[in-house]
Structure 1
Amino acid sequence: MSLVKKFATVGGATLGSRIFGFARETFMAAALGTGPMADVFYAAFRFPNLFRRLFAEGAFNAAFVPLFSKEIEANGVEGAKRFSEEVFGVLFSALLIITIAMELMMPWLVQWIIAPGFADDAEKTSLTIRMAAVMFPYLMCMSLTAMMSGMLNSLHHFFAAAIAPVFLNVVMIAALFYGMWIGAGPELIAWYLSWSVLVAGVLQLSVVYVGVRHAGINIGFRRPRMTPNVKRLLWLAVPAAITGGITQINQIIGQAIASGKEGAIAALQYADRIYQLPLGVVGVAVGVVLLPELSRALKGGHLKEAANTQNRSIEFVLFLTLPAAAGLWMLSDAIIRVLYERGAFSAENTAVVASILAIYGIGLPGFVLIKALQPGFYAREDTRTPMRFTMISVVINSGLAITLFPLIAERGIATAEATAGWTNVLLLFGTLVWRGHLQWEWALARRTALLVVSTAVMAGALYYALPYAMPWLSPGAHLLQQVLALSCLLALAMIVYFATAFAIGGADLGMIRRNLKGRRKPAAPPTE
């Protein structure tokens, strides 16, 4: 299967999850708006979500996949099964201890880390503590899900792992429907959502477990033991856990700062959901597929194939995210109005969230490029260098967020996150080139410049088209008119961008098809 087909498989499943996520956020905006219950729920949910990124997705996509792939190459499926059972025993035991400890510490964590801005409101603080306690076991489910997803990706079974996140959105939508159907108030709906998160975690774990069984591996429970393989995994996983959660680390810092203003947390969350669509569809697809591909190529001595695979992935990322970034910048107000402005979500909310989304759009290519560059380190079992760069970006994010929040409120937090993301990209890219792990291609640089030109032409077309669409996009227009107008603008943007890119040479269908073939070249002789 070619890289582009693998990207499409993972990206398609992720797109389905993001579409359900949009539906969920739309219903949540109508039910909760940016009021106090929205702040409480999102603050409580962000904490288990942070740990999921740190200890689940980041650690296992970075550390587990290369080691699992190595076991398959060296000892076959039986060796990989033995390794996964060793890891499962240690992981399950560690997660159980962490969950119990966090549940006991939850009051302190909420007051000092999750939402210190709620300190003056005893009711909001109490609700956040209790909802976070309900949702935190989701971490245990998702960490085990991440491990099994890494196994499936290494075995080239991408779909089950990619489709599992859909269940979170489906279950939460069901909880919202039920709450609105019985006429529940915002607080009761928030409670239904909290319990739905835990139910969804169990369902996601069940889906990937069935997928692993279908792939031919039946995991049994082994007594936790610190075997050499487990020690090696932990050595790689600790820095990877920090690195893999860069976006969540920055967002939790932003949330703590934003908790000092009513509605700020919810506004950031609503904007985050929009830019997560291209970030998820492209970034997750590239990260999930690229790491096992690079690991296998490097283990087999196919150095040219590894370099070509990474460069083509960078090209793929820029080809899709540059126009997406410009689209978010130009159409942020229209997108937020069409998706959210109804019920408790007012025109004033639209203005605030749209300004945040426009800034996130600037950071989008950077956030996705991180996903394409980090596997260049992880596939070589180097998780510490990206960790150092992550820490630098976190310091930049924290300093800017603290400085800018008093000046431009929520937009200051979004600006800090975008700046930190691009800083991380420059550090990762420069180091890979300096080490010789990323081959500089003038052809890639030329195509990138032409893609930037194509994006500028697209932005210009939107600039001139927007005044004609504004009557249909106005707050008083019918929802169907708004959707039609936004769809026409998006269609115009796509036509102009792709036509320009292919016309001036920024993209070439034949080149993309050839370069994204997953054909294995003969192994080059090992270099001394």
Structure 2
Amino acid sequence: MSKARSLAGIAGIVAIATLLSKVFGLFRQQAIAAAFGTGPVFGAFNFAYVIPGFLLILLGGINGPFHSAIVSVLSKRKQEEVAPIVEGITTLVVSILLLVTVGLIAFAEPMMSLVAPGLFLSAADAAREGMSPETYATLQQTRDIAIQQFKIMAPMAVLAGLVGIGFGALNAANQYWLPSISPLFSSVTVLLGLGGLAWYLGDRITDPQYAMLGGAVLAWSTLAGALLQWLVQLPAQWKSGLGTLRPRFNFNDPAVREVIHVMGPATFSSGMMQINVWTDLFFASFIPNAAAAVSAMGYAGLLALTPLGILSNVILVPLLPVFSRLTAPQDWPDLKLRIRQGLITTALTMLPISALMIVLAVPISRVVYERYAFRPEDSLLTATVLMAYSVGMFVYLGRDVLVRVFYALEDSLTPFRISIANIFLNALLDFLLVRPYGAVGLVLATVGVNLISMLIMLAILHRRLQGLPLRQWGGLTALLALGSGLAGGVAWAVLQGCEEWLGNQGFGVLLVNLCLAGGVGLLVFGWFATRLRLPEVDAFVSRLSQRFLRR
């Protein structure tokens, strides 16, 4: 099998598994929206999830620093060397994260006051801000639920490290299905938890007096999902000889030290991005009705991250080992071609999706979420935030492609330094944009930071790799952006026609309007992209044609 076919096969496995996980993730979010809307339960959850939940994303996520470091080192090792390395890294990481977990539980309330100080306003300060008694009561309820949820989810710190190490080991052994599909198990536990809550409470599930119970169920089911993600990977690890639960204190082993050398700065670098998320929520806690604002950010974020997550895994997971094998100077021409492949494929996929999500944000939000506790005004707020997220989808994934190039070059310090500078830039933009634009301003601040990061990384790689064809890549990206804008305009026109003809009320009507407008927009972009004769487009069309003809 050729290398290209191998990459295509890996991408196909990752795409199918990730798609299933994202579909169940969407079901989970729909269930949360139907049960809690934009009220204090889900608003509190977004604040409580900042530290334990983002540790799961940071350390346990595919393409996270643990995953990247493990893959980079183990892919160069013999099979018999892998188990001791994995066991040594696991022993070290679990020892550290157990202490972190104890600290999170012991200092839950002060930690939450750092995450969301706006939730801890005194009655006098709230009155000076012009906050009504009802709004202040909701604020207090949101704070109490968030502290409770934070304590429950604290053990996710340990689970995050275990999941990330396991996923990296499995990918290094060319096992991609289980790591890509594992988030599905987390979504299933939340769905089961909410299903049990709905069965127990019935119509009372939206009653404010049961908000604490609802918050506890949401937190416990989220923790159970993280535990299940780790448990399901153990049999595959043991069967493949990738280490067991045996403690091993071989911290001076050269391979273990190499993993730590890559993992340490990479974790701090990725952690800087999570500090940006904390910064966003820090400022969001001061928005009037903060629970609704952060809930809308959560709902809109999932809609944007669903295609972004699928395509991120499809593009990055197969390319990371390839980047690692092309770091010698004599291989730089091939490395540059792979960087182009990653960036142009990112533009080819993300730009049209961004354009369509911007013009179709309202019907998307209504179709996905608007039922039971989720009201029409919640849909409009979520749609507005979704437009802001959609603007930055290309730069978000493009920056991740470049970060993986630095990891392959065993340079995790450069992304780390850029991330440190971005913390201050993000805080400044948040401060400037939150008052005039609210939640939308916070999202746009993040988009600006990602754009600047991507441009800086391109400039550094241009110098380090002795020149990149930046003008050519920029021109191609601009053309794809033009085609995406054309597709978005056509989709908007089709949507207006459908609403004039069919109306815009009822789930079925909304779904038909959305499918027609989105489908026509994609066809327009597909026609435009094929006219460009890009190798990335031609390869994609060729693979589809071959599969169709074989069938």
- Superposed CA deviations along residues 65-88 of structure 1, whole A, max 9, x for unmatched, are 212223x1xxx1111222112111
Q: Runs of 4 or more off by more than 6 Å in structure 1?
A: 513-516
The residue identity in structure 2 corresponding to 1:497 is: F
Counterpart of 1:98 (choices 85, 97, 100) is: 100
Aligned match of 1:400: 429
Are 2:510 and 1:482 equivalent residues in the alignment? yes
Are 2:443 and 1:420 equivalent residues in the alignment? no
- Superposed CA deviations along residues 344-372 of structure 1, whole A, max 9, x for unmatched, are 22222222211111111111001111221
- The CA distance in 1 between the partners of 2:447 and 2:264, in whole Å, is 25
Residue 505 of structure 1, CA deviation:
3.0
- The CA distance in 1 between the partners of 2:328 and 2:303, in whole Å, is 38
The residue identity in structure 2 corresponding to 1:450 is: L
Are 2:134 and 1:110 equivalent residues in the alignment? no
Aligned match of 2:81: 79
- The CA distance in 1 between the partners of 2:117 and 2:313, in whole Å, is 28
Are 2:299 and 1:270 equivalent residues in the alignment? yes
Aligned match of 1:201: 226
Counterpart of 2:214 (choices 189, 202, 219) is: 189
Aligned match of 2:318: 289
Structure 1 residues 385 and 10, CA, compared in 2 at 3 Å: closer, same or farther? Answer: same
Q: How does 1:64-463 map to 2 (within 5 A)?
A: 64-70=70-76, 72=77, 76-120=78-122, 121-182=139-200, 183=202, 184=205, 185-227=210-252, 228-245=254-271, 247-261=273-287, 262=289, 263-298=292-327, 302-436=331-465, 439-440=468-469, 444-463=473-492
- Superposed CA deviations along residues 137-195 of structure 1, whole A, max 9, x for unmatched, are 12211221111111111121111111111111111111112212222444322211111
Structure 1 residues 508 and 150, CA, compared in 2 at 3 Å: closer, same or farther? Answer: closer
Residue 474 of structure 1, CA deviation:
5.8
- The CA distance in 1 between the partners of 2:20 and 2:284, in whole Å, is 30
- The CA distance in 1 between the partners of 2:461 and 2:407, in whole Å, is 12
Aligned match of 2:47: 43
- The CA distance in 2 between the partners of 1:221 and 1:473, in whole Å, is 63
The residue identity in structure 1 corresponding to 2:151 is: A
- The CA distance in 1 between the partners of 2:92 and 2:11, in whole Å, is 32
Aligned match of 2:11: 7
- The CA distance in 2 between the partners of 1:429 and 1:61, in whole Å, is 23
- The CA distance in 2 between the partners of 1:511 and 1:359, in whole Å, is 32
The residue identity in structure 1 corresponding to 2:230 is: L
Residue 53 of structure 1, CA deviation:
3.4
- Superposed CA deviations along residues 35-73 of structure 1, whole A, max 9, x for unmatched, are 111211221122212223344443213322212223x1x
Are 2:67 and 1:61 equivalent residues in the alignment? yes
Answer yes or no: is the 8 Å Cα contact 2:186–2:226 preserved in 1: yes
Aligned match of 1:33: 37
Q: CA RMSD in A?
A: 2.4
- Superposed CA deviations along residues 309-337 of structure 1, whole A, max 9, x for unmatched, are 22211121111001011011111111111
Aligned match of 1:495: 523
The residue identity in structure 1 corresponding to 2:263 is: A
TM-score by length of 1: 0.90
Which has the larger displacement, 322-331 or 205-214?
205-214
Answer yes or no: is the 8 Å Cα contact 1:360–1:415 preserved in 2: yes
The residue identity in structure 2 corresponding to 1:154 is: A
Helix, strand or coil at the partner of 1:381? coil
- The CA distance in 2 between the partners of 1:472 and 1:31, in whole Å, is 33
The residue identity in structure 2 corresponding to 1:47 is: I
The residue identity in structure 1 corresponding to 2:112 is: V
Helix, strand or coil at the partner of 2:82? helix
Answer yes or no: is the 8 Å Cα contact 1:66–1:295 preserved in 2: yes
Structure 2 unpaired stretches of 5+: 123-138, 545-551
Helix, strand or coil at the partner of 1:226? coil
- The CA distance in 2 between the partners of 1:178 and 1:437, in whole Å, is 59
The residue identity in structure 1 corresponding to 2:216 is: W
Residue 122 of structure 1, CA deviation:
4.6
Which has the larger displacement, 106-115 or 13-22?
106-115
Answer yes or no: is the 8 Å Cα contact 1:328–1:358 preserved in 2: yes
- The CA distance in 2 between the partners of 1:22 and 1:60, in whole Å, is 26
Helix, strand or coil at the partner of 1:374? helix
Answer yes or no: is the 8 Å Cα contact 1:115–1:255 preserved in 2: no
Residue 428 of structure 1, CA deviation:
1.3
Helix, strand or coil at the partner of 1:2? helix
TM-score by length of 2: 0.87
Answer yes or no: is the 8 Å Cα contact 2:495–2:514 preserved in 1: no
- The CA distance in 1 between the partners of 2:229 and 2:543, in whole Å, is 34
Answer yes or no: is the 8 Å Cα contact 1:326–1:361 preserved in 2: yes
Residue 513 of structure 1, CA deviation:
7.3
Residue 389 of structure 1, CA deviation:
1.2
State the number of aligned residues: 511
- The CA distance in 1 between the partners of 2:151 and 2:37, in whole Å, is 23
- The CA distance in 2 between the partners of 1:244 and 1:100, in whole Å, is 23
- The CA distance in 2 between the partners of 1:432 and 1:515, in whole Å, is 31
- Superposed CA deviations along residues 359-391 of structure 1, whole A, max 9, x for unmatched, are 111110011112211111001110010011112
Structure 1 residues 275 and 462, CA, compared in 2 at 3 Å: closer, same or farther? Answer: same
Residue 123 of structure 1, CA deviation:
4.1
- Superposed CA deviations along residues 72-116 of structure 1, whole A, max 9, x for unmatched, are 1xxx11112221121111112111111112211211101122454
Q: How does 1:464-483 map to 2 (within 5 A)?
A: 464-471=493-500, 477-483=505-511
Structure 1 residues 246 and 26, CA, compared in 2 at 3 Å: closer, same or farther? Answer: farther
